[in-house]
Amino acid sequence: MDIGNKVAIVTGGGSGLGEATAIRLAEGGARVAVVDLNADAANAVAEKIGGKAFAIDIADAQAGEKAVAQIVAELGTPRILVNCAGVGTPMKILGKDGPLALSAFEKVVRINLIGTFNMLRLVADAIARDQEPGDGKQTQGVIINTASVAAFDGQIGQPAYSSSKAGVVGLALPAARELARYGIRVLTIAPGIFLTPMLKILPDEALEALGRSVPFPPRLGEPEEFAKLALHMIDNDMLNGEVVRIDGSIRMAAK
């Protein structure tokens, strides 16, 4: 699918993987809605790329419905959704003070999995209601969700994060199968260790050690490399229902 003049929504678009993807989409001629919980970050990216900013909690049903309706009214029907919003708070099942608070586990799953599904359902509905004419073989829309290698190689301290990302992985195929009748393709990217704001707070020595743990190339991934994969997925009509790891062949150790 050609992204030129298409409306694209990027969640988590205020920084990291989402920001890089929003920039690449805009460079390709898409009209980009930058969605992020951080209003300042969303506005900064939207201003840089000539897009529109929407500051919402993606796991809030009403906020999501309102934002998508506003995007349709102001920009047009979204044909592209890239879900990058997520959190990766470390936590153990059993800590010094006892078992992990259920609310802490629930918060991560709410943002990473429920938030992803919320935006998927709303954008899919908008596309299904506004079908472009064709012979039924053209892509009407592409939805790309972001999982993680933690969905497969979950480490100690990642019970909530790994569970939520495994849920995103499990969503890909049933969503792709159901939405095929509307010409909507659904894909998932599972990144390894990428240089995002969550990692930039670490000392340089720690970042270098993390990079060396990647078999090849022995470095951290760059957000632009994630964005390049997302744009290829949008362009290649035969990619559907698939989860693609982009990780330098790393397999995470237990801790």
Place of tokens 């898409």: 30
Q: What is the pLDDT of residue 89?
A: 87
- Model confidence at 15, pLDDT cuts 50, 70, 90, reads very high
Residue range 4-9: mean pLDDT, rounded:
97
Q: What is the pLDDT of residue 232?
A: 98
For the cut 80, the answer to whether the pLDDT of residue 12 exceeds it is: yes
Phi, psi of 34 (to 5 degrees): -95, 110
Closest to 19 (Cα-Cα) out of 63, 86, 84: 84
Helix (H, G, I), strand (E, B) or coil at 154: coil
Q: What is the pLDDT of residue 198?
A: 77
Q: Is 161 a catalytic residue?
A: yes
- Token pair in block for residue 38: 């951080």
Judged by average pLDDT, the poorest of 19-33, 64-78, 128-142, 143-157 is 128-142
pTM for this model (two decimals) = 0.96
Looking at every residue in the chain, the average pLDDT score rounds to 96
Question: In this predicted model, what pLDDT tens digit does every residue of 198-211 receive, in sequence order?
Answer: 787 778 888 898 89
For the cut 80, the answer to whether the pLDDT of residue 59 exceeds it is: yes
Residue range 8-25: mean pLDDT, rounded:
98
Judged by average pLDDT, the poorest of 119-128, 195-204, 205-214 is 195-204
Beta-carbon contacts of residue 98 (< 8 Å; ≥ 6 apart)? none
98: enclosing H helix or E strand: strand 98-99
Place of tokens 């990027």: 10
* 8 A C-beta contact, residue 6 and residue 79: yes
- Model confidence at 221, pLDDT cuts 50, 70, 90, reads very high
For the cut 90, the answer to whether the pLDDT of residue 134 exceeds it is: no
Closest to 27 (Cα-Cα) out of 235, 234, 237, 231: 231
Residue range 29-58: mean pLDDT, rounded:
98
Residue tagged active-site, from 117, 161, 194, 226: 161
